[in-house]
Amino acid sequence: MDDKIQGRIRALLKQKDAILLAHNYQPPEIQDVADFCGDSLELSIRAAETDADVLVFCGVHFMAETAAILSPRKTVLLPRPDAGCPMADMVTPEALRTRIEELPGVPVVTYVNSTAAVKALSTICCTSANAVAVVNSLGAEEVLMVPDRNLARNTAAQTDKKVHLWEGCCPFHDILTPEMVAQAKAAHPGALFLAHPECLPEVVAMADAAVSTSGMIRFARNSTHRSFLVGTEVGMRYPLQKACPDKEFIMVSERMHCDDMKKISLEDVLQCLEEMRGEVRVPEDIRVPALKAVERMIAVTAG
Ligand code: 13P
Ligand code: SF4
């Protein structure tokens, strides 16, 4: 059944000069039909570089919005417009404006997991793959990082700059405790522990690597170890196992399950392509300043 729908999706993608981008947390059948799977940074770069007329984005709203910011002349479709990110909703433009007034002259480093309107108020964006490089690229001695306090604290541990926090977090990464990791380590001695930088700093301190989702795939591929404990959203099991079929991946907590990342089905993708529905647009007065912040980030990564 999946094969049949996947075939129809591939045919429609060709017919409409479209490409399908999927985040590493997406369901397996979506990853299998995608042209490209990756972390937030890789997906932004792909969205900026592609010649395709249409981008079908399988992820959550802020990811499709970032693609629309980068490619205003392309049609960006999100098969389920209600797929959001609870962390992105933890900072509003109004609240950020107030904080900026309290910290005059302090650059704002905004995680891509944020709305376009929040990006528009920011100096530069970052992802989990480049947060330290982005903060270090700035001349200022102090920065404000929004909205993820865990990413901010984990970044602060790797830079000399003073980092002001915002009280947001990913509700799924935040539930992983050092006790849960210690238990998993005791049950699987010899396994390396991979954590996502959205985890608590106490958890990241226990990790052999704290990297983005694609960073985890690269780390596992290049490692001589065969067994890994994984501290991130449960969808990561599939791309890790696909990349390293002879290695073992144990999710530390099955409760790290992001419902929004699992909303899109193959049927949604098919319908969205057939009817060209679910378009994500960003008004120009927000897109132009947001683009500056995203482009600055990409320049740091490219440089
Ligand atoms: P990365 O894939 O950029 O590491 O981000 C994880 C995430 O939370 C996306 O929602
Ligand atoms: Fe947002 Fe967390 Fe879901 Fe990623 S896993 S989309 S950060 S809620």
Among 46, 78, 112, 113, say which to mutate for ligand 1: greatest number of ligand atoms within 8 Å of CB.
Answer: 113
Residue by residue, DSSP assigns 182-202 as HHHHHHSTT-EEEE-TTS-HH
For the packed helices 284-302 and 40-49, what is the interaxial angle rounded to 10 degrees? 110
Which ligand approaches the C-alpha of residue 85 most closely?
2
Average pLDDT, stretch 187-210? 98
CB of 128 sitting under 6 A from ligand 1: yes
CB of 26 sitting under 6 A from ligand 1: no
CB 192 within 8 A of CB 180: no
pLDDT in tens, 28-38: 999 999 999 99
* 298 Cα: distance to centroid of ligand 2 (angstroms): 21
Which ligand approaches the C-alpha of residue 213 most closely?
1
Nearest to 194 by CA among 219, 235, 230: 230
* 213 Cα: distance to centroid of ligand 1 (angstroms): 6
Residue 1 has pLDDT above 90, yes or no: no
User: Atom 10, ligand 1: which residue's CA is nearest?
Assistant: 113
* 170 Cα: distance to centroid of ligand 2 (angstroms): 6
State what percent of residues in the chain have pLDDT above 70: 100
pLDDT tier at 301 (50, 70, 90 boundaries)? confident
Nearest to 281 by CA among 7, 105, 125, 61: 61
Measured between alpha carbons, how far is 297 from 293 in angstroms, rounded to an integer?
A: 6
* CA separation, residue 55 to residues 93, 136, 279 (Å): 27, 32, 10
Average pLDDT, stretch 194-203? 98
CB of 66 sitting under 6 A from ligand 1: no
* 200 Cα: distance to centroid of ligand 2 (angstroms): 14
User: Atom 7, ligand 2: which residue's CA is nearest?
Assistant: 170
- Judged by DSSP in three states, 159 sits in coil
> For the purposes of burial, counting CB atoms within 10 Å of the CB of 276, is it exposed (0-12), middle (13-18) or buried (19 or more)?
middle
* 15 Cα: distance to centroid of ligand 1 (angstroms): 30
CB 136 within 8 A of CB 128: no
pLDDT at position 44, please?
Answer: 83
> For the purposes of burial, counting CB atoms within 10 Å of the CB of 94, is it exposed (0-12), middle (13-18) or buried (19 or more)?
exposed
User: Atom 3, ligand 2: which residue's CA is nearest?
Assistant: 258
Residue 303 has pLDDT above 80, yes or no: no
Place of tokens 């899109």: 264
Nearest to 159 by CA among 178, 184, 176, 142: 142
Mean of all residue pLDDT scores within the chain: 96
pLDDT at position 77, please?
Answer: 97
- Judged by DSSP in three states, 26 sits in coil
pLDDT in tens, 114-143: 999 999 999 999 999 999 999 999 999 999
- Judged by DSSP in three states, 130 sits in coil
